[in-house]
Structure 1
């Protein structure tokens, strides 16, 4: 039996769109440009981030909707999503990052002309970078504790432990545990679990994933343990939180 070719597996609208792009000589911006810009955002480097955005905008933009205004809005919303993930990697609390993202998207939708959207694109970038810079200024801990916190935030969906983090940072677990508890007033295990619970709130609020799936996503041993931790940190179950039993402002 003949195996279908890659092109035969593609939906018709993708094929026709791809052909139009080729006819128009359109090429998406180099991935390196995007990667460098997101890394600059992650580290709070406004000058480098703005420079890369200008380079990207010198290229022809993709058409993401029939009308130019809607197309530009869609492009900015996509960028907003990428920026949000970049600042979470940079150490911003996920709930804070997603709140900024929601605010930016609402602002994008209010704007009624393409020229204003073009200006807002740079304003939005500055807002995301400013949040990373603010976070860096607010971390009063030692270098080793800051490294541990950033590692936890970047690997929040993985199985995390004191031993694993100490191995990554190349320090003795007892030393890391003592420094972390002394400076943050929290054990590293409690800090990890609190971060996982905080990030899981976004999935409860904005996705249809089941509670058991969310527990699995954050590498909790089972749903019961996740529910117990959620209640310990928030005073309610994940189900009650999802149903709207908390002020999320």
Structure 2
């Protein structure tokens, strides 16, 4: 009976390994990767950035024939690792995977290697921001956390205090008082602020018109969306889109 060949003896593996050694391509040390994942898991943006820079200073392995495809594959791999890190840190898997899917779609749209290099750091910031947001909510009561979760999951729908209260099977006044007491803001303000934050991604990464974005988030009009955006950020959506803040 023929003995199964080991991976190390496979001709393609050997030739590929020899090529990597000749070209000085090495995968990042495992302790670098582990420290990066731990930094993300604990929401430590500075440490995570430092580790990602250290990893990127190493000569990267070629993951495809063409440089653009190779870089995209590398970012998708990073996105997968970052997703696992925030899930390990306590983020709901469905929310984590939704962020991952969104970012991978953005990666696939890009056609410039230099833009992809910068996007990896932007991607890291988004994952750290999500883990920080999740940790902030840990101190809230179960009912308030459920309300926040519902708002996040239905961010593209028309949200009202009454609708959230009905879902949670509590009186609107009770939910309103409890939410304001624990978070420091009204539930309506929280909903609007969350929608504005989510809309920044569309302003940054899509060509959707401002009126289309306002409609996507179920604001009653473009002017109302613009006013809210300015209230929360200090600038209009149009100025945000063309400014360095959106890049």
Measured against the shorter chain, the TM-score band is 0.5 to 0.7
Gaps of 5+ in 1: 142-182, 186-249
Q: How much is the aligned-residue C-alpha RMSD, in angstroms?
A: 2.1
User: In structure 2, how many angstroms separate the alpha carbons of the residues matched to 1:5 and 1:13?
Assistant: 12
Alignment correspondent of 2:125: 126
- Could you say which residue in structure 2 is the equivalent of 1:51? 50
Give the distance between the partners of 1:76 and 1:115, measured in 2 at CA: 12
Indicate which of 158, 162, 184 corresponds to 2:142: 184
Deviations 1:94-126 (A, max 9, x none): 000000000000000011110000000100000
**Against the structure 1 CA distance between its residues 25 and 102, is the aligned structure 2 distance closer, same or farther, given a 3 Å change threshold?**
same
Q: Partner residue of 2:79? A: 80
The 1:106–1:5 alpha-carbon spacing in structure 2 relative to 1, beyond 3 Å, is closer
Q: 1:139 to 1:40 in 2, by over 3 A?
A: same
Partner Cα distance (2:27, 2:56) in 1: 11
Q: Distance in 1 between matches of 2:121 and 2:92?
A: 23
Secondary structure at the aligned position of 1:20 is classed as helix
Aligned-partner SS, 2:24: coil
Residue 59 of structure 2: aligned partner: 60
**Distance in 2 between residues matched to 1:76 and 1:7, nearest whole Å:** 26
For residues 1-249 of structure 1, what are the structure 2 equivalents within 5 Å?
6=6, 9-10=9-10, 12-141=11-140, 184=142
TM superposition shift of 1:29: 1.1
Q: In 2, Cα distance between the equivalents of 1:85 and 1:61? A: 22
**CA separation of 1:122 and 1:8: change in aligned 2, threshold 3 A:** closer
Which structure 1 residue ranges, 4+ long, deviate > 3 Å from structure 2? Answer: 1-9
The aligned residue for residue 193 of structure 1 is: none
- Following superposition, the deviation at residue 9 of structure 1 comes to 4.6
Give the C-alpha shift of residue 4 in structure 1.
7.0
TM-fit CA distance, 1:68: 0.3
User: Number of matched residues?
Assistant: 144
